[in-house]
Structure 1
């Protein structure tokens, strides 16, 4: 029976999480802040830790750093809980060593699924590693597993840092296999309102969407008309979470953040993507621009069909099939390109 340590300063949320995990069969220990959480982990090493990000005194990222610097706890998986407004330290978590994120509010079954997923990944990694060595070497590596755990986390930090550096570096970029997400968080264009107020709305919505997309591992996020186009490189997925899972969780988080009075439409496709560097030395502008191609045309066509049908999330058939274990397929319709678009229903499988 896996043991879970919950570090959460909100009594009500800690109670809900504890109740759900106990009902799912986990042994649960609780701590009301970061220092008590680290002490509880040292006193009784858990199988996984669930930690809130924004806590007084010691943030969730500081808790992760303390755990990763402790050889006894370096390999314990950590799932961070973060609110959509926590954008000041979002990027910090990508290099802190967390294994996964859940955005608040979350459903109890989402928390249970995330815990099962990180535990399963750690078990697979351990079995694959141990099966590659002989009995004598296994004994030696078992004695050094704490040191190896620290080295593993250090490599993870370096690779994630390198990933962000590549995403922001100048130069053309070409991905043979990437997920593209066309994001419309505004819905039909407002017919009333002043230009300044509409400009503020676009700025606010796009900034929030960018934060979420980068939080869940997007390599590039660029304007696409009044919408956003996000690129998740399939060959550069994080070590602990598959890229298709990151893409679907990003989409779910975006849809959760949309007010009831506004309609959002998201579309997904997978294929080759090319971006060219746009560097204007005279005016100091630098960035990337999408090169038109079949992948961009495909996701735009699916998005247009989804908007017309009133679907919130849609995908090309190949992507819908890949996400079948995480999102049920809903209705289907033909796009203007004569291809099929599939409605996706996250969490309904």
Structure 2
């Protein structure tokens, strides 16, 4: 049972939050200010902290700063609660290490969804601790913080000051006129997390991501990072792989990832017999086009971060999501299909609606390589 510390000086709101969380089966401790809440966090080491920003004695931002400075509790995820009128608090909270924020008045369905999402991420991070996978997940979580800031910048438009990354850092970006983006997502991760213990889930995470990492690097991946439960990889043409273009190498890697998922499924059957576990399944999106690896100078962590950006990346993520919903294992864009069509076996073709885009995404189901 997950333990949550909820902080809010408004007793009515705090009581509603606690009641909603307990109704979902969570164990909840409550505090009326940040100072008392921080004491509870240090004493009980909860799985999640939910905190209002404006509180007496110690506000939510000060509490967050103290939490992140304490190495014994700094990895605990934090969701901040604030109002849309307190936009500077939102920005300060996200750059200060918050994992998510919700605006008041609260929609309790959104609160429960955000809580479940952060607990899932925290579980994945804990299960991979002290391993090579842990390092990759830490990197992915840092990237997610930057992506969240970008989302909030766009949501609040010109009302939030400043844009990121700045023009001063753009000269250090790596720009590729034609690269291939691969995104693989473990679609059954949440279902497996419900059935397996943290130790068992850690074994599954090790098994897949060690296979996945070996596969993408075998085919010459240039950049790799974790995004949520998925893995984002960029392939570029280079001198040591000039006999096989980036599109075909990424295509072969995608097929290799499906094989890796099948090996993990066999691992589940052999190591957890009779458990009636969900199948270990992944889906893959492939797209090609212009990609920029943006170098982001991030003051909080002290080291630059690399973030793949551009429509090619966004379209790849959307294509994977839509194709997964359609039951496809691998979907490639029409752009990539033109480059590798003579080398592959294709299946269904479909125009996928893409929320937020002016036109549909044309996708083709990848079945295998032609002989």
TM-score, structure 1 length as denominator?
A: 0.46
TM-score, structure 2 length as denominator?
A: 0.43
